[in-house]
Amino acid sequence: MTRRNRETLFNPTWEKMVEREPLLAFSFYLSGRVNVLLDLGDEIVALLDEGFADGCTYGDKIARASTLMWLWTLGGYEVVRTISQASVCFSDSAQAKFTSLKLILSQARMPAAKMEKPGKKMPVSSDRSPDGWDVKNRDLLVGDPESLKNIHARDLLRMFEEVFTSLHANDVLKRHEESYKSCNSVPSSGL
């Protein structure tokens, strides 16, 4: 996907579809989920823009952006985790991008989904706000609120979009199902 193209293709060939949206060659389903996440990211950014208006802050818009960002983080991580588990299906350069994206997504996801500090069996506070507000930059801070390194929602959304829109057809080497073939080489007992 070299750009986010919203133009409808009429009677496209498979090659044209994959040229426009390379992830289709890996999984039609997962490609659709990525598009949902990209659209949801656009909605989150629009809510942040509206919520942090010049000279005024609208808590209802920011709260909605926060709720959607929580859901987006969970979905974004699961999509990238699925792709990472099927690394044999992607070029080395695509794998490197997904690995970097998965790392930052896990830093945001662990405190939100598991209520644990990333990489540690330690809880995050239960009496915390779901996120921080960076009013100056009109953004949400996601992840562990006690971390010294803040993760900005806009940066995370942008990174996700950049990784997926940088994919080319030659980055997808195999279909998702093919990543399981080496795992299933043991003959079944027929039961």
Distances (CA, A) of 118 to 111, 121, 185: 7, 8, 35
For 21-66, write each residue's pLDDT tens digit.
Answer: 999 999 999 999 999 999 999 999 999 999 999 888 999 999 999 9
Query: Which pair of structure tokens corresponds to residue 24?
Result: 């289709």
Residue type, 185: S
Sheet holding 139-142, edge to edge: 132-134, 139-142, 151-152
Mean pLDDT (the chain, rounded):
88
Share of the chain above pLDDT 90, in %: 62
Question: What is the reported pTM?
Answer: 0.87
- Looking at residue 123, what is its pLDDT? 81
The backbone torsions φ and ψ at residue 149, rounded to the nearest 5 degrees and listed phi first, read -100, 110
Chain segment 65-105, per-residue pLDDT in tens: 999 999 999 999 999 999 999 999 999 999 999 999 999 99
Domain extent listing, the chain: 21-173
Mean local confidence (pLDDT), 129-144: 85
- The band of 111, judged by pLDDT with boundaries at 50, 70 and 90, is confident
pLDDT value of residue 186: 46
Which residues are 20's β-sheet partners? none
Is 91 within 8 Å of 74 (Cβ atoms)?
no
Contacts of 141-149 with CB under 8 Å at 24 or more apart are 142/69, 142/73, 142/108, 142/112, 143/107, 143/108, 143/110, 143/111, 143/112, 143/118, 144/107, 144/110, 144/111, 144/117, 144/118, 145/111, 146/117, 147/107, 147/117, 147/118, 149/107
pLDDT score at 60: 94
Residue partners of 179: CB distance under 8 A and separation at least 6:
85, 86, 87, 88, 89
